[in-house]
């Protein structure tokens, strides 16, 4: 899996702080931005996140390039609706010899891995045969597996990202999308460390587990990931 932060709102934390100050100021946004020191920006962003004043963090967005993931993952990913997506098309991009994702549980079981690889090989062969018979790619793709590798461009605002991390950094999320969430979180922390301070699974982010009887049982372990406030 490859995840890269391709673009983001310039000075995202300053934009959040500016939005927060604007709500209570008589002067305009440009003047406010000039008056905000880096220290004040950090303090204001921490306050907004702690208070849950989430409209202020909707003004900044982040765009990721994601490769080496399965259609299983992207089917889950696009359920996060306050986001923008563009995915490699199986209608127009030929899938001859397509790459595929193997779940760790299958990779660790020799017998299961052999069956899995054989099925993928059969699917590849059938896809090639169908297209050789003149079947359009958009129809031949019906035989492709959910394991087929894909690429997707994702843009989310910070509020949507925090919600995404709450759900998908959780141990109850499937392994592949959880891996994606952690990689995305690592990327945004490089450019907005205060905004995404303690972002992650709900237990890390809020200090409580919302899963009830379905909890993963790792609350204490996950709480150790929380970073102390400055």
Nearest-angstrom CA–CA distance, 137 and 201: 39
Q: Is the backbone of residue 2 left (phi > 0), alpha (psi -120 to 50) or beta?
A: beta
Is the CA virtual torsion 84, 88, 75, 158 positive or negative?
A: negative
Sheet containing 84-87: order of strands: 2-8, 61-70, 149-157, 84-87
Is residue 141 flagged as an active site residue? no
Closest CA to 152 of 99, 86, 100, 94: 86
CB 181 within 8 A of CB 169: yes
CB 60 within 8 A of CB 14: no
Contacts for 103-112 with beta carbons within 8 Å, 24 or more apart?
Answer: 103/175, 103/176, 104/175
Marked catalytic residue, from 71, 141, 168, 178: 168
Element containing residue 28 per DSSP (H, E):
none
Nearest-angstrom CA–CA distance, 209 and 166: 10
Please list the active-site residues: 168
């Amino acid at each position: 899996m490859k995840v890269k932060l391709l673009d983001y709102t310039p000075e995202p934390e300053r934009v959040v702080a500016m939005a927060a100050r604007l709500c209570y100021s008589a002067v305009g946004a440009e003047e406010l931005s000039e008056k905000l020191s880096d220290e004040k920006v950090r303090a204001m962003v921490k306050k907004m996140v702690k208070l849950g004043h989430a409209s202020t963090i909707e003004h900044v967005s982040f765009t990721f390039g994601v490769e080496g993931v399965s259609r299983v993952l992207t089917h889950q990913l696009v359920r996060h609706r306050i986001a923008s997506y563009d995915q490699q098309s199986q209608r127009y991009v030929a899938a001859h010899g397509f790459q595929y994702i193997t779940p760790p549980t299958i990779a660790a079981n020799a017998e299961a891995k052999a069956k899995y690889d054989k099925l993928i090989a059969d699917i590849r062969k059938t896809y090639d045969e169908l297209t050789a018979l003149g079947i359009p790619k958009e129809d031949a793709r019906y035989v492709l597996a959910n394991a087929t590798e894909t690429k997707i461009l994702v843009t989310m605002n910070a509020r949507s990202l925090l919600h995404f991390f709450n759900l998908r950094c959780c141990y109850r999320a499937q392994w592949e999308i959880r891996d994606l969430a952690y990689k995305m979180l690592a990327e945004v922390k490089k450019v907005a460390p205060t905004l995404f301070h303690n972002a992650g699974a709900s237990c890390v982010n809020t200090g409580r587990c919302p899963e009830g009887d379905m909890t993963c049982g790792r609350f204490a372990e996950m709480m150790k990931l929380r970073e102390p406030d400055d």
